[in-house]
Amino acid sequence: MHGAVSLARLDGGQIRSDLLELLACPKCRAALMEDADGLRCTGCAATYDVKQGIPVLVPDDVNTVHLEEEHNLALMMKSREQLPEERFNLGQWSLSKREFWAMVRSVVNDSPPKRFVNIGCGFDPSCAEFERLGHTFVNLDLVFDMLAQLRSDCGAASCVNGDVNRIPLKAGAFDYVVSIDLIHHECERLPELLGSFRDLLKPKGILFLEDPNAWGLFQMAKSIFMPRFAYRSLRSAYHTLKRSTHRPADYEFPTNVWRVMALLRELGFENIRCYPHTAYPTVSERSYRMYRSLSGSEFVRKYHNYHYMLSAVRA
Ligand SMILES: [Zn+2]
Q: How far is the CA of 20 from the centre of ligand 1 (A)?
A: 14
Ion ligand 1: residues, Cβ under 5 Å: 25, 27-28, 30, 41, 43-44, 46
Question: How far, in Å, from the CA of 264 to the mean position of ligand 1?
Answer: 29
Q: pTM of the full predicted structure?
A: 0.88
Per-residue pLDDT of the chain (315 residues; tens, 9 = 90+): 343 334 434 445 567 888 999 999 999 999 999 988 899 999 999 999 999 999 999 988 877 777 777 777 777 666 665 566 678 888 888 899 999 999 999 999 777 799 999 999 999 999 999 999 999 999 999 999 999 999 999 999 999 999 999 999 999 999 999 999 999 988 889 999 999 999 999 999 999 999 999 999 888 877 777 777 777 777 777 777 777 666 667 667 889 999 999 999 999 999 999 999 999 888 888 888 888 888 778 999 999 999 999 999 999
From-to residues of CATH 3.40.50.150 in the chain: 64-314
Q: How far is the CA of 43 from the centre of ligand 1 (A)?
A: 5
Distance, CA 292 to ligand 1 centroid (Å)? 51
State in Å: Cα 14 to ligand 1 middle: 21
Q: What is the CATH number of domain 64-314?
A: 3.40.50.150
CA atoms within 13 A on the CB side of 113: 10
What are 117-171's pLDDT values in tens digits? Answer: 999 999 999 999 999 999 999 999 999 999 999 999 999 999 999 999 999 999 9
Ligand 1 center–CA 267 separation, angstroms: 26
User: If you measure from the C-alpha of residue 60 to the centroid of ligand 1, how many angstroms do you get, rounded to a whole number?
Assistant: 12
